[in-house]
Every structure is written in C-alpha cells, then in structure tokens.
Structure 1
Amino acid sequence: MAGLFERTPDGSAAIALEEVEAAILRSLEVQMLELIGPGPAGAPGAETDPLAALFTEGPTEAPADPALARLFPNAYGEPGTAADPGTKAAAGEFRRYTEPDLRHRKREDALLVIRSLDTLGGDGGVLRPGPEECPRWLGALNDLRLTLGVRLEVTEEDEQGLYDLPDSDERKPLVMAYLWLGAMQESLLEAMTG
C-alpha cells in the first residue's frame, strides 16, 4: 500500500489514500474504538460533563487483555514481572487517576482519524491534517500498530521475518496492515519534523 505522508509547503503533512486504503484505516480505527470502550463505567455523564469527568476514577488493575495492557501499561514496576505490594499499590493509584483521561484521548484521536477519512467520501483522496492534528494522527496510528503488534505477538527479533511470510499464512493481512501502519507512522513523523 502506497498511502504515506509527505511534508507540505506550509510545514504540515498530506497523505493520498486510495479508496481501499481509507476503508482499511477507517475499519481499524473503528475496531480501536470498540477495543478501548465507551468510557468510564458507572460514571453517568462523565463523557459529556467536564465537572463529572474531573471526579471520575478509573480502574486500579491493569487490563486483562494484552492489547489493552499495552495501550494502558502500569506506570510502576517492570513489565512481565510480579510487583511487590507497594509497587502494585502505587501503580493502581496512578492508573485510577490517569487512565480515564488516557482512554478519552485515545478515543478522541481515533475519532479524529475516522472523521478525517469520512471527508474523503467513497473514492479516496488527499487528507491534509493540520499541525495541531498531526500529533493526534501519530498517536492514533501508534495505538493501532501497538495493538496489532500484540495480537501478532511481534518481537524485535522477529519483525524482519514478517516480510517473508508466505501468502498462505493466515496472519498475512494483519502483518501487511502492521507494516503499512509502521511506514505511515514513520512518514508522518518525518513530515512533522521536516
């Protein structure tokens, strides 16, 4: 897939997407919204009422889903190791007060990408996210890539092997999306830093 970002003369970025590329990216972002979820459970109005959102507390335990755990990691302790009670308590307290905002930001970034893609209609076209939108696009692309990486169980050692998968491998479509998102992310970063 050729859809990559390029720097524009005004210092922003632009990406030309074919219809199929826009549809794939939109589908992935919709799935990201479903994975992240609607927001804090048991906090009526927290999504629309800024005052209620200030007092919304999040969970104290890391998500059981490995992809969500990668998107919302513990702030304290070493990943993959059992934490002592003090570290676990500190991580839980930090998560309780920060995860709702982080989830909200990730949802908003995914929605920004979806809304941008919706402006293309059904034929594809060129998107030009402004300077304030580029970091949000970068975050949304990163979230997708991290999630696919977890689902594919990608490690640094075997990332190169992803290029050599046979077409018969059932992971091939997800691997292609993972590699494309990585290239898109890299091209956006290069466009942003000029």
Structure 2
Amino acid sequence: MSAFQRHRRSKLIIANFTGFEADLLRSLAGQLVELLRNEAAEPRDDVDPFEAMMDFSGPTQEPEDPVLARLFPTAYPHDEEAAAEFRRFTEGTLRDGKAAAAIAIIDGLEEAGLPKELTEEGLMIDVELDQPTAETWMRSFTDLRLALATRLGVEEGDEAYWHSLSDEDPRTQAHDIYEWVGYLQETLVGALTS
C-alpha cells in the first residue's frame, strides 16, 4: 500500500490498496458500524420526522462496552446528572456521525472497485478522495484506532511489550493492524495538510 498523497494536479487525496488491505479496512469499518448501531436505540417508524428530529430521548448511562465508553466518554465525571443530560442530548447524533464516517470508508472502497466479496488475488484498489471525504475518513481512522487500542489494552509507552510478543501470538497480528491504521491516519493527515 502506498501512503495517502495529494495529487499535484487534481488536488485529490489518493492511495492504492491491495485487495486484502481494502477488504480488511472495509471489515474494520463494518465492525465499527455494527458496534455503534447495535447498542443504539432502535429507530421508530411511527414518529413524525420533525418530532424525531427534536427527540432527545437518547441514552443517559455510560455504555457498558469499553470501546463505546471510550468513543463516548462521560462529559462531566463528577456530576452524574449533568453527564446524563449531556449524553441524552448528544450521544445519538455522535453515534450517527461516527457510523456515517465508517460507512463513507466502506462506500469509498466499493466505489473504487472493491467487490462485495473478495475472490480475486492481486486486485489493486485506487482510492481518490476529495478534501471533505478525506477528512471524514480521517475521523473514522481515529475511531478505529481507539476501538482497536481499547480491545487490545494498548497503553502509552507500552511499545516494548508489543515488540516482545512472538509473531505467532494473535495479539501481535491485531496490534499490527492497529499500527497500520495509525500509519493510514498519519499519511492522510500529511496529505491533507500538504
């Protein structure tokens, strides 16, 4: 995979992925969408659209899943009532935004030629992103890294631990994916600021 780069003439942000890399990224984004939607309140069809837009009956408790708790931290840790109210008014919209950003990655990869099921070896996927779409991908990379770091238990300054694991340890492979998403994010930031 090449790093994200800004195309000199078109100013688009470009990268190419192997079919395996694109499929892995789509899978990670899909898992994030599933996690965000599984614990969200089920949408109701019997509500007037204006009423639904003005509905602030979102969750008031911190999510039980550690990844969701990391993605939606408590705004007021020393004031339960204020934290509950803040969560009620904001978490639904934040979940929708994070899910939409992950879906943008899935859609972008599929629009670039990634088939629904990867069967072809040697497939290369060339992605071209305009500035707003690249910023959306960047936000989703942040969410993906937070999710992976939480599941793996990655902490600041623990690089020696991860390098001490054998290549056969499944945590090593998962950590490599975490590092790869970090690389994608870093090169995308560089492309956006160049």
Q: State the match for 1:80 in structure 2.
A: none
Shift of 1:41: 1.9
Shift of 1:63: 0.4
Q: State the match for 1:31 in structure 2.
A: 31
Amino acid at match of 1:90: A
**Residue aligned with 1:33, SS:** helix
| Identical-pair percentage | 35
TM-score w.r.t. the length of structure 1 is 0.87
Q: Does 1:105 align with 2:104?
A: no
Q: Does 1:124 align with 2:133?
A: no
Cα distance change of structure 1 residues 12 and 56 upon mapping to structure 2, 3 Å threshold: same
Residue ranges of structure 1 left out of the alignment (5+ in a row): 78-82
Q: Deviations over 1:113-164 (max 9, x none)?
A: 0011112234232101111111110111111110000001000020354244
Contact 2:109 2:125 in 1 (8 A): no
Q: Does 1:114 align with 2:106?
A: yes
Shift of 1:53: 3.0
Q: State the match for 2:44 in structure 1.
A: 44
Q: State the match for 1:92 in structure 2.
A: 84
Cα distance change of structure 1 residues 115 and 43 upon mapping to structure 2, 3 Å threshold: closer
Shift of 1:13: 1.3
Residue ranges of structure 2 left out of the alignment (5+ in a row): 116-122
Query: Once superposed, what is the RMSD of the aligned Cα atoms?
Result: 2.2
Q: Give the Cα–Cα distance (whole angstroms) in 1 for the partners of residues 110 and 183 of structure 2.
A: 22
Contact 1:39 1:100 in 2 (8 A): no
Which sits farther off after the overlay, 116-125 or 127-136? 116-125
Q: Does 1:165 align with 2:158?
A: no
Q: State the match for 1:7 in structure 2.
A: 6
Shift of 1:44: 0.6
Contact 2:22 2:114 in 1 (8 A): no
**Residue aligned with 1:171, SS:** helix
Shift of 1:72: 0.7
Contact 1:59 1:99 in 2 (8 A): yes
Amino acid at match of 1:124: M
Misfit runs of 4+, over 4 Å: none
Contact 2:141 2:185 in 1 (8 A): yes
Q: State the match for 2:138 in structure 1.
A: 138
Shift of 1:43: 4.2
**Residue aligned with 1:44, SS:** coil
Q: Give the Cα–Cα distance (whole angstroms) in 2 for the partners of residues 48 and 141 of structure 1.
A: 34
TM-score w.r.t. the length of structure 2 is 0.87
Which sits farther off after the overlay, 40-49 or 23-32? 40-49
Q: Give the Cα–Cα distance (whole angstroms) in 1 for the partners of residues 176 and 163 of structure 2.
A: 8
Contact 1:134 1:188 in 2 (8 A): yes
Shift of 1:12: 3.5
